[in-house]
Amino acid sequence: MSEQWESAAFKRRVDEILRDFVAREADQLTGIDPALAPVAGQLEAAVAEGKRLRAAFCYWGWRAAGQPDSDALLRAATSMELVHAAAMVHDDLIDDSPLRHGRPTAHVALRGAVRRRPRAVSAARSLAMLVGDLLMSLAGQLFATSGLPAAYLARARPLWSALARELVAGECLEILHTGADPDTARSLKVIRYKTAKYTVEQPLLIGGLLGGAGERLREGYSAYGLPLGEAFQLRDDLLGLFGDPGQTGKANADDVCAHRPTALLSETWRIADKDEREQMRALFGRRDLDSAGLDTVRDLMRRLKAPDRVEDMITARVETALDALHELDVPAHAAAALSALAHTATVRWS
């Protein structure tokens, strides 16, 4: 791989590792019993698409520490994508989301495998939960068998515990705050732990630790990674309601119907007056919300300029991240790649 950041070439390398690794695991699963074929199929579907940002941040955490391109490191970095796949299967299950990348989510797709069973919907949800569990297990397996020296892996392994703990904490906080009166500070804390840390900061730190990055460099990674991860999720919140479902691959109404504690909903609530809050109470959390109701929510948000405020939050965080990046003493090609990744993560349509 050249010193110049070539995102498409990088993605192809990660896709190949994921496809081959998960296909072997899927074959072993169906080897136990052919009845497991639908489960194995969802295992492969879970990793079929993605931006591969988490692998990229891990890779450049390694390269920014002065290390060369490495196939073994790339396998370790690809394990971050299995963490993400596991999180998405579980997240879709918790949120009862029907679509991911424009296709039925695992718990919806698996209904066909149990349609003749009692309580088929519940059975499909159970199968999806187990798919997510297996993906998380496979992430650890791919990391441990990446081919990197044991001493390198040992430096980064403690961060895996923090990654899992904080990811679960963020998901739990979202569940606990769903349906409550929105609060921006709470929403930002959910964003930080549910998404920001495992999307940017922790992959960077794991790559850095694998590559022997010192404490000062790792502090710089956090100063860059945490605000950028928050900006990534804030963009996701905006796309979730105002994006084109044909590009996002998700339903626009999900966050409103579930009354999730997103920053967008929280900012709208904070600015709204008493009558507007009553209107929000009547619409948020309604599973039967139709397109007219969704348009009413969007119109209210636009009138209160809540999307503009979230855009400002994104801009401020990206600027903070790039300022921190400019302070890092890293090779020029690594700084250029991390700057490009900041743009990719936050200026997007899906």
**In whole angstroms, what is the distance from residue 252 CA to residue 264 CA?**
13
Token code pair at residue 335:
């700084």
Question: What integer is the mean pLDDT of 147-156?
Answer: 97
Task: State residue 37's pLDDT score.
Answer: 98
Question: What integer is the mean pLDDT of 279-291?
Answer: 89
| Contact status, residue 263 vs residue 188, Cβ threshold 8 Å | yes
Token code pair at residue 124:
């499909």
Question: What integer is the mean pLDDT of 121-129?
Answer: 96
**In whole angstroms, what is the distance from residue 125 CA to residue 96 CA?**
9
Task: State residue 1's pLDDT score.
Answer: 47
The pLDDT tens digits of the residues spanning 176-223 come to 999 888 899 999 999 999 999 999 999 999 999 999 999 999 999 999
Task: State residue 3's pLDDT score.
Answer: 59
DSSP-assigned beta bridge partners for residue 104: 99
Strand ranges (E), 89-225: 99-100, 103-104
User: Could you tell me the maximum CA-CA distance found in the chain, to the nearest angstrom?
Assistant: 62
Question: According to CATH, what is the number of the domain 7-346?
Answer: 1.10.600.10
What DSSP string runs through 262-327?
-HHHHHHHHH--HHHHHHHHHHTT-TT--HHHHHHHHHHHHHHTHHHHHHHHHHHHHHHHHHHHHH
Q: How far is the CA of 67 from the CAs of 14, 140, 173, in angstroms?
A: 18, 22, 37
Question: What integer is the mean pLDDT of 13-35?
Answer: 98
Q: Is the pLDDT of residue 277 over 90?
A: yes
The pLDDT tens digits of the residues spanning 130-145 come to 999 999 999 999 999 9
Going by pLDDT thresholds of 50, 70 and 90, the confidence category of residue 88 is very high
Going by pLDDT thresholds of 50, 70 and 90, the confidence category of residue 99 is confident
Which residue has better confidence, 175 or 251? 175
Q: Is the pLDDT of residue 286 over 90?
A: no
Task: State residue 255's pLDDT score.
Answer: 85
Task: State residue 102's pLDDT score.
Answer: 85
Task: State residue 243's pLDDT score.
Answer: 87
Q: On the CB side of 146, how many CA atoms lie within 13 Å of its CA?
A: 27
Percent of the chain with pLDDT over 90: 83
Would you give the DSSP letter of residue 246? H
Token code pair at residue 147:
């081919």
Give the SS3 label for residue 4.
coil
- Where in the chain are the domains? 7-346
Task: State residue 289's pLDDT score.
Answer: 87
Q: Is 59 exposed, middle or buried, given 0-12, 13-18 or 19+ CB atoms closer than 10 A? A: buried
Token code pair at residue 317:
């965080």
Which residue has better confidence, 208 or 252? 208
Task: State residue 4's pLDDT score.
Answer: 62
The amino acid at residue 119 is: R
Question: What integer is the mean pLDDT of 300-329?
Answer: 97
The pLDDT tens digits of the residues spanning 26-48 come to 999 999 999 999 999 999 999 99
Percent of the chain with pLDDT over 70: 98
**In whole angstroms, what is the distance from residue 89 CA to residue 329 CA?**
38
Give the closest residue to 70 by CA, choosing from 13, 111, 108, 113: 13
Mean pLDDT of the chain: 94
Question: What integer is the mean pLDDT of 279-298?
Answer: 90
* Helical packing angle, 150-177 and 184-191, nearest 10°: 150
**In whole angstroms, what is the distance from residue 88 CA to residue 135 CA?**
10
Q: Is the pLDDT of residue 2 over 60?
A: no
Task: State residue 26's pLDDT score.
Answer: 98
